[in-house]
Amino acid sequence: MTSVPRTLYQYLRYTRSSRMPLSTHWEKNATPKLLRSFNDVILKDAILVSHVSKMSESAARHRNHRVVMVMVLLIIIFTTSVKGKDPAMNLKVSRRNDPTAESGVLVVDCSVNSWLTKMSTVTSLTVLGSKPYRNQRKFDELAVVDIWSPAPKLTNYLKNEDVVIRGKTAQENFGNAYLVLSWNSQSPFYRHYRYFKCVANGLDPHKQAASISKTVNVGMFQTDCSQKMDSIDSQLREMAEALPVQVENLHSKVEALESKLETFHLIQMFHFKMRKVDTDRFDVSPILKDRFYLASKDEVAFNIEAANQECKSSGGYLVELDDLEEYRNLLWYFLERVPRADTFWTGGNDIDIEGEFIYYNSRKPVPNVDSWWMRGQPDNAGDSEDCLEIRKSYDGLINDWICGRTGKFVCEIELETRRI
């Protein structure tokens, strides 16, 4: 079995002898050590770039295809090595039973190579942790090292007796920046975090602010407690998502119940009010919203004062139409069904001041609703029309008419609504 090449020289010889595509060799055999070797050769040593340029010129003069192949290979290696995640940042999390781990129960090691990153100066490094039972991944700051402090600092209740911290920044493309946290006690505090994140802030070669970050998932540190917290968190999320629907359903049920209670209350009030009504003298309407109406069975010469007094004896007053809705309810659901009648007297009149119609009982002005008047009305024909009637033979429209003419009068009885 052929051994995997470990150096640039071995790799070139290996690809030449195997006669396989360069990309195939690269995908199967490129190792992290080889990647670092190529990165160091290409990015840290400017002399290699000069040599590649010279090899290209020599190949053009001498048509040396082997040199051209080497140059193409170097370009492919460089493109592949820098593609994808930023190779300049490394975040490693290990624990004691890991053979490659440093001493400590848990070690979080964040490092940044300022030569390979887009930042010429690393001004600060921060390590953060996220707890597994949070609804959204929210990171707590655990430690930071920056150019403004002489030494790295622990944050978020971490104690120096539990955690050893070391780190430094990097300035002007010189060296690496790193921040290492090493838990040296059996305190379960570190087990609270499933995700760790490293954030590097600094300046790019143009002295503009730049930042890179890397996150790792350390679910292997999850404990039974955090598993239970995950389960609880999941259940809480499901409950939170279902809660608005449940609340809306509850509101609908409450509204339906309130409507039923209100209807029941109105029916009770209706039966109570009906004790005063002489059904031999009045036709009775159904409950319309929060009131009902009476229409006298006998047609008599209308006397507005006497009619209003009879309405009061029944617990109401001569009808007062407050708006178009009440007018239509009265007409469609009651007056149209009253037999042997054409004229229905209301409490509206302009007896006191001609042209200013008011209601007899409340003294409130009659609303000026064009759609309920007969055409050309009110007109005070003959200077004697002072009372308002509803005339069924004219589509139930309102007209001013002589107060003494015969007709049926209409009473209105309000029902007290229930306050919930």
What are the percentages of helix, strand and coil residues in the chain, rounded to 5? 40, 25, 35
What pLDDT is attached to residue 358? 96
Residues of the chain with pLDDT under 50: 1-9, 11-13, 15-16, 19-28, 30-39, 41-49, 52, 59-60, 75-85, 98-103, 220-223
Is the CB of residue 411 less than 8 Å from the CB of residue 310? Answer: yes
Instruction: Give the chain's radius of gyration (CA, Å).
Output: 47
pTM over 0.85: no
What pLDDT is attached to residue 301? 94
What pLDDT is attached to residue 234? 78
Kind of pairing, strands 89-95 and 163-168? unpaired
| H or E element that contains 399 | strand 397-401
Domain boundaries, the chain: 8-82, 89-226, 275-414
Query: What architecture is the 275-414 domain classified under in CATH?
Result: Roll (3.10)
In a 13 Å sphere around the CA of 166, the CA atoms on its Cβ side amount to 4
Helices (H) and strands (E) in the chain, counts: 8, 18
Token pair for 138: 């929210």
What pLDDT is attached to residue 410? 97
Residues whose CB is less than 8 angstroms from the CB of residue 86 and which lie 6 or more positions away in sequence, other chains included: 117, 118, 212, 214
Spatial distance between the Cα atoms of 200 and 111, rounded to a whole number of angstroms: 9
- What are the angstrom distances between the C-alpha of 183 and each of 127, 217, 406? 14, 18, 104
What pLDDT is attached to residue 71? 59
Cα 344–313–412 angle (5° rounding)? 40
CATH superfamily, domain 89-226, is Immunoglobulins (2.60.40.10)
Spatial distance between the Cα atoms of 401 and 398, rounded to a whole number of angstroms: 9
